[in-house]
Structure 1
Amino acid sequence: MTTSPAASTSTTGVSLSSLLKRSVVDADHNPLGRVEDAITRLRDDEYPLLTGLVIAQGGTRVFVPANDILSIDPDRVLLRAVRLVAGPFERRDGEVLLKQDVLGHRLLDVGRSVLVRAYDIRLVFTKEGWAAIGLDVHKHRWFQFGAHEHHPARDWHAFLLLVGSPSALRSRFAASKFRRLKPAQLADIIEGASPQEQNLLLAQVHADPELEADVFEELDEDRQTLLFRSRSDAEVADVLSRMRADDAADAIMDLPQMRRQKVLDLLPSVQNTKVMALLGYNAATAGGLMGTDYLALSEDLSVADALAKLREATTQQPEALTTIHSLRKDGTLAGTLTLVRALQIDPGTLLSDAADTDTVVASPDDDIVAVTTRMADFNLLTLPVLDPEGRVLGVVTVDDALEAAIPRDWYRRASGGPTATRRSKGALKRDKGSESRWRTLTG
């Protein structure tokens, strides 16, 4: 008879799939049933400990506490007691059943930013007890049956389980995993998730308002609209208030017509003004592509002053801050200075002397082809969009120009990685026709 965990498979661990096949016997080797499931509780940044087993005993499911397990042998689970005194199993709040909740279910592979399916779980005996330390996300083939013990498993902490209620995911450890993913990666994951998985992922994203806005900016417009449909006008406005104005304007136009004005009225005044201005432009033009984040300063300021203002612009779109715009006293554009050039010259130089006055610009009505061609010809990271008087209305950034130029049939190339599935919002704008967004705002 095995008398200590050290003499059992606890020395090398055991896979859940093989554990589920084993019989359970008492201290006198009387059969009590077979293992049906294993119960754990998640522990933030610690491996989840086994709190007990569910065994099938006739037509009844019975709970066996982990403390009653003497050893797990290759063909059985041995209990300490001679007789098992237990009632029917009843699940408690916070418990995770490894077979029922994890095996066959999808989970988030954080390092690879994809949803994968769990095919097996690795359990080992530690000083605290049996713990789930690894997950096998490789599907076993028919000829691999019986070899589960030697199939490689990856660290449990490399994954985020999508089980339980949304509140169960709002832990410090789960949040730290989410922070390792970029908004575009999270958007891809959410787009490929089931409704239940989406609810859990969105609950975690919602815990960080800034991240939530960034993720919604990256979502496919159809999916974004679908998710907004289940939220109240106030909740939608709260997300849009943190989004870039150009993306918020697009999102407003993708809402049902009867909701557009209601959501607009709930936006903070500054965001409302920006969005309303952008809604007046055709979506397939420079006015429709441009954003309202940019750095524009008096040409009488020095480069050092400009760099100081740049450091303070922490809430603006970083891609739009690669260029410093110098303005004349009447507010018209005098010239532009790239960030790299600003760092290379004497900080005391005035913008009037440092800026390039031969500036390449666009008008709001220039179409996407003209915008992208101009930016490519002059190797521009940003393109200022001016009104007829020469004042800056906004800037088109290279990422938006590139997105607008990507052909439709490149969106979901099978050979691409996870981020290759992003759809081009710019091409979607081209498909919306020449009618201005403002004219379709209310009818």
Structure 2
Amino acid sequence: MSDSPDPSGANEALSLSSLLKHAVIDGAGQTLGKLSDVVIRPRDHDYPLLLGLVIGLGGGGYFVPMSDVVSIDPQSVRLRTAKVDLRPFELRDGELLLKANILGHRLIDVARSAFVKAYDVRLALAPDGWRVTGLDVHKGRWFHLGRHDEHPARDWHSFLLLMGDQRASGLRSAANRITRLKPAQIADIIERASSREENILLAHVHEDPELEADVFEELADDKQAKLLHARSNEDVAALLSRMRADDAADAVMDISQERRKPVLDLLPDGQRTKVLTLLGYHEATAGGLMGPDFLALSEDKTIGDALQAVRLASTHQPEALVMIHSLRSDGTLTGTLTLVRALQLPPETLLRDAADRNLVMASPGDDIITVTTRMADFNLLSLPVVDAEKRMLGIVTVDDALEAAIPRDWLRRRS
């Protein structure tokens, strides 16, 4: 018998669920027991590598390193030796068990931004050894009698495992796959997660402060309030400082009254001023919906100046930059110009000559129906909110208008 692993299965993935039913044969041709589990080590930007097998023998499990494995095929696992280390098996840091830690456990299907369950694991031989290459997340029908080896499997990298300690398990790169999801998708997953899964997901997004802020902006109010309640004032203030001012103001109203002032006092001066201004308006009005960040320039500036201002407005949300507002010297609004139209005009064109002077505006006290109807009637992606002297206070963007207008139970509809 050859001393090297049999490469015959290099191009054909094997089913873990099938292998678990078969015997482990030692170098003398004797049956040692059945395969009980498989030990793997996840790797950054690569497929997990099999480190060894756990063999059920008597009442315990015993470890056999892959260096002692001659072949793995659909019928059996064969070893090169008859000697087995009978010391009880113990999992080490950075290792996982395929059956115990993955089979039957929930994980995230990144492409579909949904929870799925792993029903089977695919193994294949590569030049560097046996690897985990895919997962079967298709729930078997009754007439398959629990078999999954005939189901199609999907690539291992399509999923995010929810392990308690990603670093210790070598899954840091796998955890980074969550950044492939949009903040709204992550928020939706968090809202459907168990307490354990929620804690793991929150730990992932916490590693990216900007992503964390974006995710919290998308959370339902009750979930956001619950999560903020569990954090210290300092942590809440740090999070709110990175959120859009209008979302931060809404979040402040959802924390307990005795915590509001301490949290506000910890905010950076600029963010605190914006939030306090927004807190002065009822949440169901244009003033409560508006964001204080917008693009406004003197009407004496050129299109080129406006486009440069767009380039420099890196802290603004993209939806706040779809409209350019022109102002008189006294700060009153004189016209609006879409970003697309600005790109179509010569850069030397003055804003006073390019802006649309037929203004469509809102007052801070206008209700949600007035705001959304006005935006729909004029096909607006943003609506300026002005005071009695036509000085700009902020803008209502279409995403905020829709969120306010759509019933809450529609916002989290399940596919």
TM-score interval, normalised by the smaller of the two chains: over 0.9
RMSD of aligned residue pairs (Cα, Å) = 2.0
Structure 2: gaps of 5 or more residues: none
Q: Report the Cα distance in structure 2 between the residues aligned to 1:79 and 1:146, rounded to whole angstroms.
A: 28
Task: State TM-score, norm by structure 2.
Answer: 0.95
Single out whichever of 124-133 and 282-291 deviates more from structure 2: 124-133
CA distance in 1, matches of 2:384, 2:60: 72
- The residue that corresponds to 1:257 in the other structure is 257
TM-aligned CA deviation for residue 171 of structure 1: 6.1
Q: Distance in 2 between matches of 1:329 and 1:396?
A: 24
Counterpart Cα distance in 2 of 1:3 and 1:132: 22
Given that 1:382 and 1:396 are in contact with CA atoms closer than 8 Å, whether structure 2 keeps it comes out as yes
Are 2:116 and 1:116 equivalent residues in the alignment?
yes
Aligned match of 2:91: 91
Give TM-score scaled by structure 1 length.
0.89
Which residue matches 1:420? Answer: none
Per-residue Cα deviation, 1:393-421 (whole angstroms, up to 9, x for no partner): 1000111112222134533445xx4xxxx
Gap regions ≥5 residues in structure 1: 418-443
Show the counterpart of 2:58: 58
Distance across 1 between alignment mates of 2:6 and 2:57: 28
- The CA distance in 2 between the partners of 1:64 and 1:170, in whole Å, is 21
For 2:45 and 2:35, the matched residues in 1 are separated by 28
Letter in 1 for 2:404: A
Where do residues 223-372 of structure 1 align in structure 2 (5 Å cutoff)? 223-372=223-372
Mapped to 1, the partners of 2:64 and 2:386 lie a distance apart of: 73
Q: CA deviation at 1:29?
A: 2.1
Q: Which residue type is aligned with residue 54 of structure 2?
A: V
Deviations 1:54-86 (A, max 9, x none): 122111221111111111243322111122233
Shift of the 41–225 alpha-carbon distance from structure 1 to 2, 3 Å rule, reads same
Q: Partner residue of 2:384?
A: 384
Q: Deviations over 1:279-299 (max 9, x none)?
A: 000000000000011011111
Which segment drifts farther, 173-182 or 385-394?
173-182
- Structure 2 CA distance for partners of 1:146 and 1:359, relative to 1, 3 Å: closer
Contact 2:134 2:155 in 1 (8 A): yes
| 132-141 or 175-184, which deviates more | 175-184
Q: Check the 8 A contact 2:287/2:364 in 1, yes or no.
A: yes
Share of identical aligned residues, percent? 63
For the pair 1:106 / 2:117, whether they are aligned, the reply is: no
Mapped to 1, the partners of 2:187 and 2:62 lie a distance apart of 42
Any idea what SS the aligned residue of 2:252 has?
helix
8 Å contact from structure 1 (residues 170, 207) kept in 2: no
Amino acid at match of 2:208: D
CA drift of 1:234 comes to 0.9
How many residues matched?
415
Q: Is the 8 A contact 1:286 1:364 kept in 2?
A: yes
Please state whether the residue corresponding to 2:311 is helix, strand or coil.
helix
Q: Which amino acid aligns with 1:26?
A: D
**C-alpha separation between the residues in 1 aligned to 2:359 and 2:327?**
12
Secondary structure of the residue aligned to 2:321 is: helix
Corresponding residue for residue 440 of structure 1: none
Amino acid at match of 1:265: D
Deviation at 1:34, TM superposition (A): 1.6
1:373 aligns with 2:373: yes
In 1: Cα distance, 2:229 partner to 2:85 partner: 52
Contact preservation (8 Å) 1:5, 1:70: yes
The one-letter code sitting in structure 2 at the alignment partner of 1:240 is: L
- The offset of 1:143, in angstroms, is 2.2
Report if the CA contact (8 A) 1:9-1:74 is conserved: no
Q: CA deviation at 1:150?
A: 2.6
SS of the residue corresponding to residue 356 of structure 2 reads coil
Matched, 1:17 2:17: yes
